[in-house]
Amino acid sequence: GKSVIGQKTELHKAFDKLREDQKKKELEEEKLQKKTALEKKLEEQANKLKQQEEIETKKIEEPDQPEFLRVHARVCAQTVDSKS
């Protein structure tokens, strides 16, 4: 007969292939997660600009008056409209 010493079973072969595939996936994910210093700086700068734009749009949309005054103005406007 044949010598079976040193030969892997189908189960072992499948398990080894699974382990290899898993390692490849992990390496790909690490590559995607690692960013260069330049990429990190650019992302930080983009986030800062986005935050500044949001702050500016809020200032334009919402005047400096307190919220209760804005709500009061809306309520008064609605009551005037309903009385007419």
Positions in the chain short of pLDDT 50: none
Distances from the Cα of 16 to the Cα of 3, 11, 24, 56, angstroms: 21, 9, 12, 57
pLDDT given at position 3: 67
Contact 8, 16 (CB under 8 A): yes
pLDDT given at position 2: 67
User: In this structure, which amino acid lies at residue 48?
Assistant: K
